[in-house]
Chain A
Amino acid sequence: MRVRLMRWVPLALFAFFAGVAGYMLTQEKNQFVESAMIGEQLPEFALKPASAGLPGATRSDFVGGKPRLLNIWASWCLPCIAEAPQLEALKAQGVEIVGIAIRDRPEDVANFLSRYGNPYARIGADDISEVQLAIGSSGVPETFVIDAAGTIRYQHIGDIREDDVALLLAELEKVK
């Protein structure tokens, strides 16, 4: 009797693994790599201006006053075009946005700003992604909420959609 029951063990194991695999296939996979720097200090950095006529960006630009947004973007990034109107909306709400342009050329940055508008108070040029890597960002665009003490408080991965604007405003309010 016991032997007969034991015969079903391999089939039961197989059914269990098939069940787990089937279940996992129906689950949505999170492809995003989240930054582990939330709650940490923004690292020290100083980037040259990404385009003529706008200042570059340093860590000290984030310290004092009110919380700010740090927007990782690039003129060669297509979702960044989709995000531009939402950044304008945030700027219209009085949010100071500091851009960091990843691997970008000054003329391309200027061209992008003239076509899609300029919501940035300043833009630093990160030619070798060093600041991007230092804050745990893994792509463009990404947007970080930095509080007035220079601490990273929130990360938004991907382009900012219309309904994300209220969410980011709430996150900025939260860390005031």
Chain B
Amino acid sequence: MIRALVLFIAALMALPLAAQDTMPPAPYAYNQLDDPAQEAEAAALMATLRCLKCQSQSIADSDAPMAGDMRHQVRSRILAGESPDDIRAWLIARYGDYVSYNPTISASTWPLFAIPVLLILIVAAVLLRRLGKRREGDSAGDEGDAA
């Protein structure tokens, strides 16, 4: 019984087989830039870039070594005077729109922006018609409202 319990606790503490490197992180993976304004710029950008290893996280959220290396790229490029837009464009040129969480209108994304506008227009048209009808024929009753 005790042996089973000890085995069970040991199993809970077992480390997953680490298929990861043992190298130290890149200089700017976990170190902030000295200038608070530059660091704020870098942090805002990092929150909108996708980690490629852990695809549902931003590189600011992820502890994957590759996300650290991407943060190093962002911070060292900001330090070298590049603008956040330049850095985003540099990454998009390598990984496509996929790497950016900042939505843009493109051939595949335009319905996401168009459909809500279309729906609002339809709702406005329906409301105008119904309200107009009610004002015209209060005494005649309103078959539309029976539903």
Contact = CB atoms under 8 A, between A and B. Distances in A.
Task: Report whether chain A binds chain B.
Answer: yes
Interface of A: 3, 6-7, 31, 33-37, 74, 76-78, 102-105, 127-130, 132-136, 138-139
Given A36-B92, A36-B95, A129-B69, A3 B146 contact: yes
Interface in B112-147: 143-144, 146-147
Interface of B: 19-23, 26-27, 52-53, 55, 65-66, 69-70, 72-73, 91-96, 98-99, 143-144, 146-147
A138 B91 CA distance: 12
B143 A105 contact: no
A53 B62 CA distance: 36
Dominant secondary structure at the A interface: loop
A68 B27 CA distance: 32
Given A3-B146, A133-B70, A138-B53, A105 B94 contact: no
B58 to A, nearest CB: 15
A77 B53 CA distance: 14
A31 to B, nearest CB: 7
Given A76-B21, A129-B65, 5 more contacts: A36-B96, A103-B23, A127-B26, A138-B53, A138-B95
A105 B22 contact: yes
Nearest to B25: A128
5 contacts: A6-B147, A35-B94, A74-B21, A76-B19, A139-B53
Which of A31, A127, A128, A134: most chain B Cβ within 10 A?
A: A128
Given A31-B55, A103-B23, A136 B95 contact: yes
B19 A78 contact: yes
Contacts of B98: 33
A3 B96 CA distance: 47
